[in-house]
Amino acid sequence: MGKRQDRKPMSIMKKMAIALFGGIGVGILFLLLREYLNANGMGQVWDIINKIFFNDITKDDGFKSIGIFYIISQLFMNGLQLAIVPLVLVSLSLSLCSMTNPRKLGEIFGKTLFCFISFYVVGAFLGGCFAYMVKTLGWFSVQLPTADTSNLATMDSYNPLTTIVNAVPNNIFSVFTTNTSILAVVVIAVIIGLTMNALRKQSEPVKKVLESLNEMIRVYMEFLINKISPIAIFCMISRTFATYGVEYLRPALAWIVSTIFICILLVFTIYPLGVWFTTGLNPLTFIRKVLKVGLFAAATQSSAATLPLNKKTCVEELGCSEEISNFVLPTGMTINMNGTTVMHMMAITFIATSAGLDVTPAHLVLAAFLSISTSMGTPAIPVAGTTMVFAVLNGLGFNSELCMIGYALVLAMNYPPGMAVITLNVVGDAAANVIINSKEKELNKEIYNS
């Protein structure tokens, strides 16, 4: 009898798909169980289930809870966030250090910034038009549930121009101790990379240290993504649906479905069309090859976690230069949050309309400006973009109690639309990378068309 052939290990994309759809299915089952138990006077049974699996153990009422799904989810998310600052710092520094032509670097940076801002403007315009259409149809005119607004993630009055000031830190070490100053980390990485580029041989010891760190980060991220992420994603999605019952889901359903729809529509339109219009390349080839990056991003809800797969896809399947990809993709991970802007347009319109306020096109234009300004400085961490909704609400003067209840609802149910938002972000990074490589004549069209 011949030896049994070793089974081929399951690909990470299959694991992610199973975790994603399995989490949705299990979460909905728990949601239905919760509604059934509460309707039949057995709420105490659900309280026990909630304390064992889902409860936030860090809150006051979580003292007697186990919160298995919560613990697994938080460990994974903290593990991802742990890598964000070193990932951005090391990858950008090395990419700038390796570029031999400083003039070329300036051209690439200018084209990268222009490309991302163009996608921002198009996304904000189409997102605003769609939000206004949904509002006009009356789908956002809902009855808000009562909600606890005492623990909302709020902030002081915010001038979006402070993003420019905060981009240059006055203390290099303070920036490395938080994930909320990623734009400042980019500036530091640019400074380190350019000075290393200028010094050449004198900077070799520093370059070797950064290369070793880069390899360590790669091994760590591969372990986290391949071994931990499927379990954690299953727990996060299940917990999201199980924790918030139908009293939250029903009024938020219009916002959730419309946000997911417009984000997915834009993924399949503005990026392939943008690639075709600027490079003449087949847009279907681009979207077919980059779809797995979008699925991975949706499952992890982290642009940092998706960066290694995005780079691999761009270089090996789309024919992009590794040198340019090392600059464009980490920069995009930091400043290209056009999916967040689209979500802001939908969320602002939903919150204001459901609170009884009339949202006009003028409001949406101002919201787009505020959102683009704040999104470019938003940390590349989950929920950060949803938290920044408050800054845009504040700038528009939408800060009534009913608006805060709507905002609480958006925060509570951010996970499903967040999956579509992050997909729009990372696919946009890949599209910009292809466009810039083509303009710099660095794109291998044989690989792209293969």
Is residue 335 classed as helix, strand or coil in its secondary structure?
A: helix
Which CATH number fits the domain that encloses residue 157? 1.10.3860.10
Residue 198 lies in a domain: no
Q: Please, what is the average pLDDT of the chain?
A: 80
pLDDT one-digit tens code per residue, 131-152: 999 888 888 876 665 554 444 4
Reported confidence tier of residue 102, pLDDT bands at 50, 70, 90: low
More confident: 234 or 276: 276
Q: What's the rounded mean pLDDT across residues 110-131?
A: 90
Distances (CA, A) of 136 to 222, 350, 359, 398: 46, 11, 10, 19
Overall domain count for the chain: 1
Reported confidence tier of residue 247, pLDDT bands at 50, 70, 90: low
What pLDDT, on the 0 to 100 scale, is given for residue 435? 93
- Residue 103 clears pLDDT 50, i.e. is over it: yes
pLDDT one-digit tens code per residue, 177-215: 776 666 677 788 888 888 887 887 888 888 888 889 888
Which residues form the domain of 354?
101-181+246-449
Q: Which two tokens stand for residue 199?
A: 């010094």
Q: What's the rounded mean pLDDT across residues 303-310?
A: 80
Residue 200 lies in a domain: no
Q: What's the rounded mean pLDDT across residues 208-237?
A: 83
Which helix (H) or strand (E) segment holds residue 79: the answer is: helix 68-98
Q: Which two tokens stand for residue 56?
A: 């936030």
Reported confidence tier of residue 155, pLDDT bands at 50, 70, 90: very low
Q: Which two tokens stand for residue 239?
A: 């917990």
- Helices 229-243 and 415-439 pack at an angle, to 10 degrees, of 140
Residue 221 lies in a domain: no
pLDDT one-digit tens code per residue, 388-418: 777 788 777 787 777 777 787 777 677 778 8
Residue 331 lies in a domain: yes
DSSP H helical ranges for 144-282 = 162-166, 172-175, 182-199, 204-223, 229-243, 246-267, 270-279
Residue 312 lies in a domain: yes
Residue 26 lies in a domain: no
pLDDT one-digit tens code per residue, 55-84: 878 776 667 778 888 888 888 878 877 877
More confident: 281 or 38: 281
Which residues fall within 8 angstroms of residue 29, CB to CB, at 6 or more apart?
A: none
Distance, CA of 334 to CA of 339 (rounded, Å): 13
Q: How many CB atoms lie within 10 A of CB 139?
A: 16
Residue 209 lies in a domain: no
DSSP H helical ranges for 280-388 = 283-300, 303-316, 322-335, 338-354, 361-375, 384-387
Q: Please count the residues of the chain.
A: 450
Which helix (H) or strand (E) segment holds residue 112: the answer is: helix 102-136
Distances (CA, A) of 427 to 19, 80, 115, 186, 339: 21, 20, 13, 20, 10
Distance, CA of 427 to CA of 272 (rounded, Å): 10
Which helix (H) or strand (E) segment holds residue 376: the answer is: none
Distance, CA of 393 to CA of 347 (rounded, Å): 10
Residue 230 lies in a domain: no
What pLDDT, on the 0 to 100 scale, is given for residue 100? 59
Distance, CA of 153 to CA of 388 (rounded, Å): 9
Reported confidence tier of residue 430, pLDDT bands at 50, 70, 90: very high
Query: Could you identify the residue written with the tokens 């199980």?
Result: 242
Contact 89, 181 (CB under 8 A): no
